Every structure is written in C-alpha cells, then in structure tokens.
C-alpha cells in the first residue's frame, strides 16, 4: 500500500510540473525555426561526412568485391576451359588406346590363327601319313588273310569231302573249286 501511494503521489506531482512548464519542446511552435536551423546544419554535416568519409570507404569495398568476383569468374572460366581441354585430351587418349588395343587384339588373333592353321596342317599331314600307313598295313593284313583264306577254304573243302565221301579229295580239284568260288 505504501508503494502504491508513493507512485500515485509522484505521478500527480509530475503532471502538475508538466502543465506548469508548457508543451513538449519538439512540438512547441515557438522553437520551430531553431529546430529547422539545427536540422539543416546537422543534415548538412552528416551529408558531408557521409559523402567524404563513409561512402568512399563503402565504394572502395564494393569495388574490391566487384574485382574479386570478376577475378573469380575469370578463374572459373579458365578452369572450365582447362577442364574441357583435359576432357577432350582424355577422350582422345582413350580412343587412341582403344584403337591400339583393337589393333593388338586383331594382330594377336591373326597370329594365333596362322599358328593354329600351321599346327592343324601339320597334324593333318601327320594323321594322313598315319592313315596311309594304317591303310597299307590293313591292305597287307587283308592280302595275307585272303591268301590264308584260300588255303583254309581248300583244307575245309578237303575235310568236308573226306567227311562226306570217306576218302581223300583231289587237291587240284579242291584248289580249282575254291578259285572258281573266289573269282
């Protein structure tokens, strides 16, 4: 309660003092001319300080920024051109390497094909020689077998005649009969 009374008393006293002193000075019409004069001087001084000191510093900062940005853009453009040149060089090198590999592969394929053909021809000639030797062996075995067949057939015919008739067959007649059947 004491605090509330103190605040109310202070407010009443300041309201009475304010009414006794007059209106708030910036709104007092009697001081407009002086206020406008000091406004013009203050504005002129601030304008002069800003135009001579602050704005040149800001302009210098903006110029440095602009130059840095331009330099960075030029560096980026140069880096992009360098990267494009590197990509073109890489693609050319890659294409050359692919062509070289294809050439080497084709040469290897041709060389291996020639070696394979040579080996195949050598193997074929060796096999043809073996086949010819085997055919000669077969022909000799066949001729020997055929000569033995005549003798065996003559012996068999003689044995059959002996078995059927009970007497020995004439060897000349048996040989003629076998030769007649064979030929």
What is the tens place of the pLDDT at every residue in 52-61?
999 999 999 9
Take residue 159 and report the two structure tokens written for it.
Answer: 């044995």
Measured between alpha carbons, how far is 27 from 34 in angstroms, rounded to an integer?
12
Position 32 in a domain: no
Plot region of 88 (φ>0 → left; ψ -120 to 50 → alpha; else → beta): alpha
| pLDDT band for position 16 (cuts 50, 70, 90) | low
Q: Which domain holds residue 57?
A: 40-182
Position 1 in a domain: no
Measured between alpha carbons, how far is 173 from 183 in angstroms, rounded to an integer?
15
Position 18 in a domain: no
Position 80 in a domain: yes
Position 3 in a domain: no
- The residue-averaged pLDDT of 11-40 equals 77
Position 105 in a domain: yes
Number of domains the chain is built from: 1
Cβ atoms of residues 173 and 157 within 8 Å? no
pLDDT of residue 172: 81
More confident position, 106 or 22 = 106
CA 12 vs. chain centroid, Å, equals: 90
Measured between alpha carbons, how far is 176 from 142 in angstroms, rounded to an integer?
22
Position 29 in a domain: no
- Report pTM: 0.40
Measured between alpha carbons, how far is 170 from 72 in angstroms, rounded to an integer?
127
Residue pointed to by tokens 């130059």:
67
State the CB neighbour count (10 A cutoff) for residue 178. Answer: 20
What is the tens place of the pLDDT at every residue in 72-108?
999 999 999 999 999 999 999 999 999 999 999 999 9
Position 34 in a domain: no
pLDDT of residue 31: 86
What is the tens place of the pLDDT at every residue in 130-145?
999 999 999 888 888 7
| pLDDT band for position 9 (cuts 50, 70, 90) | low
- The residue-averaged pLDDT of 161-177 equals 81
Is residue 123 classed as helix, strand or coil in its secondary structure? Answer: helix
Residue of 181, 179, 159 lying closest to 169 (CA atoms): 159
Length in residues, the chain: 183
């Amino acid at each position: 309660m004491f605090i509330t009374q103190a605040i109310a008393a202070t407010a009443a006293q300041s309201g009475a003092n304010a009414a006794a002193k007059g209106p708030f000075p910036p709104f007092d019409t009697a001081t407009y001319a002086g206020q406008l004069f000091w406004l013009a001087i203050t504005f002129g001084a601030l304008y002069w300080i800003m135009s001579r000191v602050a704005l040149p510093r800001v302009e210098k900062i903006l110029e440095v920024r602009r130059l840095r940005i331009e330099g960075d853009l030029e560096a980026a453009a140069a880096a992009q051109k360098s990267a494009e040149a590197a990509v073109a060089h890489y693609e050319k090198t890659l294409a050359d390497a692919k062509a070289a590999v294809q050439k080497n592969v084709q040469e290897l394929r041709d060389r291996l094909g020639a070696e394979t053909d040579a080996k195949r021809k050598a193997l074929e000639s060796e096999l043809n020689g073996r086949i010819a030797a085997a055919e000669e062996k077969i022909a000799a075995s066949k001729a020997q077998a055929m000569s033995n067949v005549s003798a065996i057939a003559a012996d068999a015919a003689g044995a059959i005649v002996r078995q059927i008739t009970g007497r020995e067959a004439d060897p000349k007649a048996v040989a003629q009969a076998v030769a007649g059947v064979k030929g």
